[in-house]
Amino acid sequence: MARIWRERTLAWSARPGMNAARIAALSFGAVILLGTLLLLLPVMSRDGESAGLLTSLFTATSATCVTGLALADTFTQWSPAGQVVILCMIQLGGLGFMTVYTLLLTFFRREILLSQRLVLASTLGLRSTGGVVRLVRHALLGTVILEGTGAVLLSWCFVPEFGLARGVWYGVFHAVSAFCNAGFDLMGPQGGSLSLFADRPEVLLIHGVLVVLGGLGFFVWEDIYRQRRWKKFSLYTQMVLGMTAFLILAGWLYFLLAEWSNPATLGLLAPGDKVMNALFQSVTLRTAGFASFPQGGLRECSLVMCLLFMLIGGSSGSTAGGIKTVTALVLAAALRSGLRGRQAVTLRGRTIPARQVFNAFTLTLTVIAAGFVCAMGLSLGEGGEFLPILYEVISALGTVGLSTGLTGTLSAGSCLVIIALMYMGRVGILSFSLAFMIPRGGGDKIKYPSCDIMIG
């Protein structure tokens, strides 16, 4: 039976037009559909009644796209069975369905064909299939080790607070959610994500480390594992590590200065806790979605800075979303070259291909345009202030999951828009366009005469 299913799957994937990006996108859609159907069951809800189609679809999309936005609190709405389903979707969404599928093929000693390697490379954001199976195996092993370690450490923190069984379950759930940058928590509405632990630096630190490690990307892990020295790392790995460190430190300093005296965020905390919570805010904006204080209390200037960080997100081939750290670095390098009047975009003694620079601008402008258009539409439909709505939209598009408290008040139409944004944000705007929008054989078959125009 397994062989027949596999043969049918391969035949389906070999159909004309079923490129790797399209299969990867549809695999996420299949997981969302299955998760929705499961969450619709009455046994999945704590009160024994079906949660309804919209809540189930929204939750399944948010979990599979590792976002964290929710119409209903995870602890109060979903029974232990429902929480297990959500956790499975988070894990599948974080690693990618095809990554887990490859593990099963390897376990059963099945051959991994070229078409499947192409899908894996697309899912992980790789440009070639060389060594992709080895990379997947190491990624899965690293995931088990890191999530297991995080679960043990968080259980040690939670058991004294919640008891043995509940504390261990909380440790496992939060470790997976943090590593996959999902932002789902089990603290209940009174907990306000991780606000109960704003004065517990060990809890915030464990979550933060898992978030950063999950956001680096599997290719970076592999490079660090194989090379183990900074000078031997690839340029891409150096760019990811350098940009990640810069963003964390810059955000840490900014939120310390901007929110130090704000009583709605850091103002009432002890000085040491202010330092830790500012650091955690900088980290969680990298598409993690946990919050140690209410996001609605941030000053407007801090909300704008949050938007920038959420747009950038993590790194390619990771559990994080956003336009990615290296994309932002390429844009900065292109800006520097433009200001200096140079045509070539260079970084650390290397020239960035013009096509990749074009892709970076295309991706960024598409995300910004989609975010502002949807935010303006939701602002007209909901009649609320623009900045909190834009915060919600960018949080969905960057698969971040942070909210100023607006999610539960949205209409059904606005919820559907947020669902679409979460899906597009996880699959990737460029991958989405490659999967569905570019016609087959789409190259530049006609060349037009060039012309000079005035810029600026």
Residues 410-431 have pLDDT tens digits of 999 999 999 999 999 888 765 6
In terms of average pLDDT, the best of 106-110, 347-351, 446-450 is 347-351
pLDDT surpasses 50 at 370: yes
Map residue 425 onto helix, strand or coil.
Answer: helix
For tokens 């994080």, what's the residue?
320
Residue type, 242: G
| Res 11: pLDDT | 47
pLDDT single digits (tens) 215-273: 888 788 888 888 888 888 888 889 999 999 999 999 999 999 999 999 999 999 999 99
* Percent of the chain whose pLDDT exceeds 90: 52
Lowest mean pLDDT among 45-49, 75-79, 380-384: 380-384
Question: Average pLDDT in the 107-127 region?
Answer: 54
| Res 7: pLDDT | 47
| Res 59: pLDDT | 96
Lowest mean pLDDT among 126-130, 289-293, 347-351, 354-358: 126-130
Map residue 364 onto helix, strand or coil.
Answer: helix
Structure tokens at 316: 């390619």
Question: Average pLDDT in the 357-361 region?
Answer: 88
| Banded model confidence at residue 101, pLDDT cuts 50, 70, 90 | low
Lowest mean pLDDT among 51-60, 114-123, 192-201, 368-377: 114-123
Q: Give the bridge partners for 347, in sequence order.
A: 350
| Res 289: pLDDT | 87
Q: What is the mean pLDDT of the chain?
A: 84
pLDDT single digits (tens) 257-280: 999 999 999 999 999 999 999 999
- Residue 449 is given by DSSP the state P
| Res 139: pLDDT | 78
pLDDT single digits (tens) 138-184: 778 888 899 999 999 999 999 999 999 999 999 999 999 999 999 99
| Banded model confidence at residue 303, pLDDT cuts 50, 70, 90 | very high
Lowest mean pLDDT among 55-64, 210-219, 364-373, 432-441: 432-441
| Res 131: pLDDT | 60
* CB distance 272 to 201 below 8 Å: yes
Residue type, 434: L
Is the pLDDT higher at 19 or at 86?
Answer: 86
Q: What is the pTM of this model?
A: 0.87
In whole angstroms, how far apart are CA 169 and each of 67, 163, 357?
21, 10, 45
Is the pLDDT higher at 12 or at 80?
Answer: 80
| Res 13: pLDDT | 45
String of b and e for 409-423 (b: at least 16 CB within 10 Å)? ebeeebbebbbebbb
Residue 95 CB partners (closer than 8 Å, separation 6+): 139, 140, 143, 180, 319
CA angle 196, 202, 203 (to 5 degrees): 40
H-run or E-run covering 105? helix 97-107
